Structure 1
Amino acid sequence: MEFEHIEQTGKPDKKIYSLTEKGRETLEKWVTESPSDPIIRDEFLIKMYSIWLSNEENAKKLIQDRIAKLEQTVALRDENIARIEQTHGKNGLEMTSKHFGGYILFNRRSMLDEEEISWCKWVLNLIEKARLNNLLLGIIVGKLNIIIQDKILI
């Protein structure tokens, strides 16, 4: 890897990296090897696993906040995808283009985030159903108590 140091005014200097020939050869070998298993560390998922320790209001807020953040992220990423498609053409982006990898990874991440939004909405639906079931159960128990008390008084 080589880099060019760029001085900037009013913000930190930056480095623009470029691939050397030796780096390209190493990368070409490495890219064909099987990857390691991914490591996923997501605090939200740990909180979801432990959601039973929370109350309904806090649980719903946690999930709604996640949905809002994901929707914002997807919208920004979709803008990047649209820019790539405008510049290189949606169907004209060839695998050999240096932008192809970024394009497919932006799309992958958006698809995963959209799926997580769907999952979060499913969880919210489960919480709501449980609340309604508990409410209905409370009404039924209350009515049964009234019927039992009426029978005892007769």
Structure 2
Amino acid sequence: MSLRHAILVLLQDQEASGYDLAREFANSIGLVWNATHQQIYLELGKLNDQHMVKFRHIPQDGKPDKKLYRITEEGRDELIRWLRKPAAPPRIRDAFMVKIAGGALSDSSSILRELDDQADLRRERLHTFEALARKLDEQGREKDLFTYLTLRRGILDQQAWLHWADEVKTALNKREILSTSA
């Protein structure tokens, strides 16, 4: 997947500014694809140059004009082409998992500290995803079914990670007890 396709997905139903898109990355598509403001604006420029999006200027008092982007027919055709193509398996790049794999060379207390920090972030993310899912439920999830299904995947991922973190804590605490009693 590329950033261009994530942006086209967000623009498929409504026009949005670069700022709006960045906010949507934080609240929805960011579950599965991360992008900075700078990356989003750079990609919007490329999509505009390739006639996949158009924008209109909205004058603002005391601020620069806002650009509202919308998908074009060329952009919609590209998005449909991409949606019909099988997705490549995701690449995993998780530095903390590499630390766990090399954990025999580290001390359990430093691993547990980092595990707690990671778990705090995961719990925060889980609460955010659950709140968004509740909001969609209240509004009628059928209206945004695919966003809801994406949120459910995010919720399950966070829950599974937290369950795994509990297993790691148990195993490392048991290992510590065995090593001190030996």
The answer to whether the superposition gives a TM-score over 0.5 is yes
TM-aligned CA deviation for residue 79 of structure 1: 1.1
Q: Partners in 2 of 1:79 and 1:19 — Cα distance?
A: 29
Deviation sequence 1:106-136 (CA, Å, 0-9, x none): 1101111110111111011000111122233
Pair 1:117 & 2:170 matched: no
The verdict on how the C-alpha distance between 1:59 and 1:100 changes in structure 2, with shifts beyond 3 A counting, is same
One-letter code aligned to 1:111: L
Residue-pair matches, total: 130
Describe the SS at the equivalent of 1:31. helix
Other structure's SS at 1:62 match: helix
- Specify whether residues 135 and 112 from structure 1 end up closer, same or farther in structure 2 by C-alpha distance, changes over 3 A only: same
* Cα distance change of structure 1 residues 9 and 118 upon mapping to structure 2, 3 Å threshold: farther
Gap runs ≥5 in structure 1: 138-154
Q: 1:38 aligns with which of 71, 90, 112?
A: 90
Asked if 1:126 is matched to 2:171, the reply is yes
CA distance in 2, matches of 1:83, 1:56: 40
Cα RMSD of the aligned pairs, angstroms, is: 2.4
> Take 1:12 and 1:35, find their aligned partners in 2: how far apart are those partners?
39
2:151 to 101, 106, 118: 106
1:79 equivalent in alignment to 2:131: yes
AA of the residue aligned to 1:80: L
TM-score (norm 2): 0.62
Instruction: Give deviations 1:53-96, integer Å, cap 9, x for gaps.
Output: 22121111011111111001110111111111111x24xx1xxx
Q: How does 1:43-82 map to 2 (within 5 A)?
A: 43-82=95-134
Pair 1:135 & 2:180 matched: yes
Structure-2 change in CA distance of 1:6 and 1:72 (3 Å): farther
Q: What one-letter code is carried by the residue in structure 1 that aligns with 2:171?
A: L
Aligned counterpart, 1:151: none
> Aligned residues: percent identity?
25
User: In 2, distance between residues paired with 1:6 and 1:47?
Assistant: 49
Letter in 1 for 2:122: L
Larger mean Cα displacement after TM superposition, 18-27 or 115-124: 18-27
Counterpart of 1:135, as a letter, is: T
Larger RCO (CA within 8 A; separation ≥ 6)? 2
Measure the CA separation in 2 of the matches of 1:43 and 1:102: 28
TM-score by length of structure 1 reads: 0.72
Structure 2 gap segments, 5+ residues each: 1-52
